[in-house]
Structure 1
């Protein structure tokens, strides 16, 4: 995967797109609508760059204040591959540096700077809240539990391995919706402190399919997410 680091952005480091099961190595990506505009205009890229420059120092300060000892040297990158569905997510590089990644389709679909800022705040909140490490722990616990049950029943090595894979997937999803709401809440704080309107920014949810409240779903209902944003915003 080819990334373009925005040259005009500080070395700061962010969830939008697929419906596949989340990898234990990163929080579940935020889902967006199917096919829309996939190539941002020059004005949209400039707006994205301005939002990044504004959001980066606020996210870093919040990270250092809330998570002592955590790497808060965020790096924001843009995936420039054409024809991809809108996507944004937070991950870590090999050295543990937090990466906030956004692709061109996401930048093109965001309708204003508040939506750009809110998703950026949401992604940085995943890192500050330690969701990757917590998701890995849940996946490991699920793999051990289901694999152990399979072993006790006398299953063969192939069946045990499959049970471990299933357990890891279930474990990774167990608290996924809670993680999203936590990121929405902290993302609201970061967004507002950077001077943007988080309630207006969270309207980005109206562009994505409502996942409802499915068992082992990766995302909470859109209405619940909006309730969280409004509640936290009103408390600030």
Structure 2
């Protein structure tokens, strides 16, 4: 086996093993509910982008942030694992996306508001990103980036040493480049946003925050369908690189909403 092929296989295994855990239970959805969700998404009309007045994005995000932050802080304190210090900022990007960053930043793209039909829909997206902070997903992703770089570099060093022992002749500069490239690839694999389990957890906890803030989760549900439809058209592709598939996400949303209603507006935050 060549050194490069060994590295490709090893880094591929690293990617497959990058399954980060969750702080709370996440819903498990059955195949029939996913099939129903897939049919609903397929029958839904294409999402429509609306024009926004100057300053509407900032005003809307401020209004929603003020309402979401008290229950989000309460949730973060209840979980006791994340950093309860964040701020919401608007991004000019028209892509249907949002993100949570290491500096406590929650960025909501303009594209989210252009496709949203109500504050409830935008609030669900924002609550999802706040939940990433509350559940410590952002810090764990940083740790995975460092670990991925270290593992990638180590694998490359082992491959180079094995090649030299078998008689392969490569220069020191080429070996160094190979190790640096492998470390970079490992880092990229490690920082592939959040695991799908963590994305499901952020949806679940975000839905709880949404309910506690007095928004209507049933109205927010439409945006899950919108994002799924947009991803099929390529407009939400980046958002769905690490998220569960649209039908799976919709089915999990429905399962969480049913549980939330059955429990009188609460959800268990610990297993068991």
Task: Sort the Cα spacing of 1:34 and 1:138 in 2 relative to 1 into closer, same or farther, 3 A.
Answer: farther
Relative contact order higher in (CA < 8 Å, ≥ 6 apart): 2
Pick the structure with more helix per residue.
Answer: 2
Number of the residue aligned with 1:4: none
Number of the residue aligned with 1:201: 220
**Counterpart contact for 2:146–2:187, Cα < 8 Å:** yes
Number of the residue aligned with 1:115: 121
Number of the residue aligned with 1:87: 97
Q: Which runs of 5+ in 2 are unaligned?
A: 1-45, 161-173, 235-239, 261-272
Number of the residue aligned with 1:26: none
Range moving further from structure 2, 127-136 or 59-68: 59-68
Equivalent positions of 1:165-176 (< 5 A) are: 165-173=184-192, 176=195
Tell me whether 1:124 sits opposite 2:130 in the alignment: yes
Could you report, residue by residue, the CA deviation over 1:146-189 in whole angstroms, capped at 9, with x for unpaired residues? 22111112170101111111112222339522221111111111
Equivalent positions of 1:69-218 (< 5 A) are: 70-79=82-91, 81=92, 84-93=94-103, 98-154=104-160, 156-173=175-192, 176-207=195-226, 208-210=230-232, 217-218=241-242
Query: 2 CA distance for matches of 1:34 and 1:218?
Result: 21
CA deviation after TM superposition for structure 1 residue 217, in Å: 4.3
Number of the residue aligned with 2:76: 63
CA deviation after TM superposition for structure 1 residue 107, in Å: 2.1
Q: Which runs of 5+ in 1 are unaligned?
A: 1-32
Could you report, residue by residue, the CA deviation over 1:14-34 in whole angstroms, capped at 9, with x for unpaired residues? xxxxxxxxxxxxxxxxxxx99
The TM-score, its normalising length taken from structure 2, stands at 0.62
CA deviation after TM superposition for structure 1 residue 116, in Å: 1.1
